[in-house]
Amino acid sequence: MKIFLTIYVLAIVCVVSIFGFRGSTSKKEPLEVFPDMDRQARYKPQAENSFFADGRNDRPVPANTVARGNYLNYDEVFSADFEDTVLGNSAYLYGKNPDGSFYQGFPVEPTNELMLKGQQKFNIFCAACHGEAGDGNGVTKPYGVLAANYHDDRLRGVEDGYLYDVISNGKGLMFGLKDRLTPEERWAIVLYVRALQRSQNAEAAELSETKRTELGI
């Protein structure tokens, strides 16, 4: 009984000392358990700093940093002769016509160089789920990610702008990637997806004589 009473009184003292003083003000300095965490030596944004040659605290972004956000290059944006050539170009920026329907075609020049860029970005951002051939057999498949196979008639028939929109905003279980890929990179990927679709859907007769002999068909 004695032990029970002691525990009971202690519990009441604890509860009152923790909750009893809530809301009351005190003129005493607050207790700092970790003063070095409360008051850290740190650099403030946009402040001066004599350590760096340019005198700025904020450091410029290192070269080859993965871009997030939009297509704008901040050095260009703040230069006097900056001109935004794609502002308001809804086909390029959103893959849509001004009336909201999906754009068919490429608002960028579909060059071989762009296609190679698309291949590189596809292998980084899409192949894990969709597979390198775009058949939906990515390394994540055994873990239950059922990514679309590009080689079905529905996806062969959709507009180029639709593919661009899926890359940008996602679809169903797939997340959008517009914060990681510039519009140009997204168009490059669309171009590469088209090439993948063609690679699985061509007739031998469409190849040149030399190519056919080379492949033995």
Q: Are 43 and 57 in contact (CB under 8 A)?
A: yes
What does the per-residue mask of binding to ligand HEC show for 165-194, with x meaning CB under 6 A?
A: -xx---xxxx--x-----------x---x-
Q: Which two tokens stand for residue 126?
A: 């899409």
Residue 115 sits in the site that holds ligand HEC (CB under 6 A) = no
Q: Are 161 and 95 in contact (CB under 8 A)?
A: yes
Helices marked H in the chain: 2-19, 35-38, 74-77, 90-94, 112-125, 127-130, 153-157, 160-169, 183-199, 209-215
Residue 130 sits in the site that holds ligand HEC (CB under 6 A) = yes
> Measured from the CB of residue 168, what is the shortest distance to ligand HEC in angstroms?
9
Tell me how many residues contact ligand HEC (CB under 6 A): 21
Report the distance separating Cα 96 and Cα 42, nearest Å. Answer: 46
> Measured from the CB of residue 151, what is the shortest distance to ligand HEC in angstroms?
11
Residue 128 sits in the site that holds ligand HEC (CB under 6 A) = yes
Chain residues in the site for ligand HEC (CB under 6 A)? 125-126, 128-130, 140, 145-148, 155, 163, 166-167, 171-174, 177, 189, 193
